[in-house]
Chains A and B, each alone.
Chain A
Amino acid sequence: QSVLTQPPSASGTPGQRVTISCSGSTSNIGSNYVYWYQQLPGTAPKLLICRNDQRPSGVPDRFSGSKSGTSASLAISGLRTEDEADYYCAAWDDSLYVFGTGTKVTVL
Chain B
Amino acid sequence: EVQLVESGGGLVKPGGSLRLSCTASGFTFSNAWMTWVRQAPGKGLEWVGRIKSKDDDGTTDYAAPVKGRFTTSRDDSKNTLYLQMNGLKTEDTAVYYCTTDRPGGELLYYWGQGTLVTVSS
Are A and B subunits of one complex?
A: yes
A residues apposed to B, CB below 8 Å: 2, 33, 35, 37, 39, 44-47, 50-51, 54, 56, 86, 88, 90, 95-102
Instruction: Say which residue of A44, A46, A50 sits within 8 Å of B112 (CB atoms).
Output: A44
Please tell me if B11 contacts chain A, counting CB pairs below 8 Å: no
Q: What 9 A-B pairs come out closest when comparing CB atoms?
A: A44-B111, A102-B44, A97-B47, A99-B45, A95-B61, A47-B109, A50-B106, A51-B105, A56-B106
What are 13 sample pairs from A and B whose C-beta atoms fall under 8 A apart? A37-B108, A44-B97, A44-B111, A44-B113, A45-B97, A45-B108, A45-B111, A54-B105, A56-B106, A90-B108, A95-B61, A97-B108, A99-B46
CB contact under 8 A between A97 and B106, given known A37-B45, A88-B44, A102-B45 = no
Give B residues with C-beta under 8 Å from A.
Answer: 35, 37, 44-47, 50, 61, 63-64, 97, 102, 105-109, 111-114
Main SS class of interface, B: strand
Per the bound structure, the CA–CA distance linking A18 and B49 in Å amounts to: 32
Q: How far is the CA of A107 from the CA of B37 in the complex (A)?
A: 27
Contact between chains at B106 and A99 (CB < 8 Å): no
Please give, as numbers and ranges, the residues of chain B lying within 8 Å of A46 by CB-CB distance: 111
Cβ-neighbour of A33 out of B45, B46, B105, B113 (below 8 A): B105
A56 CB, nearest partner CB in chain B, Å: 5
A99 touches B47 (CB 8 A): yes
Question: What's the dominant secondary structure at chain A's contact region?
Answer: strand
Cβ contacts under 8 Å, A33 to chain B? 105
Are A45 and B109 within 8 A (Cβ)?
no
Could you tell me if B114 and A44 are in contact, using CB atoms closer than 8 angstroms? yes
A6: nearest residue on chain B (CB-CB)? B44
For B44, give its contact among A47, A95, A101 (CB under 8 Å): A101
In the complex, what residue of chain A is closest to B113 when comparing beta carbons? A44
How many Å lie between the Cα of A101 and that of B109 in the bound state?
Answer: 19
Distance to closest chain B CB from A106 (angstroms): 16
Q: How many angstroms from the CA of A51 to the CA of B107 in the assembled complex? A: 9
Interchain nearest-CB distance for B104 vs A (Å): 8
A37→B107 CA distance, assembly (Å): 10
Alpha-carbon distance between A18 and B55 when the two chains are bound, in angstroms: 43
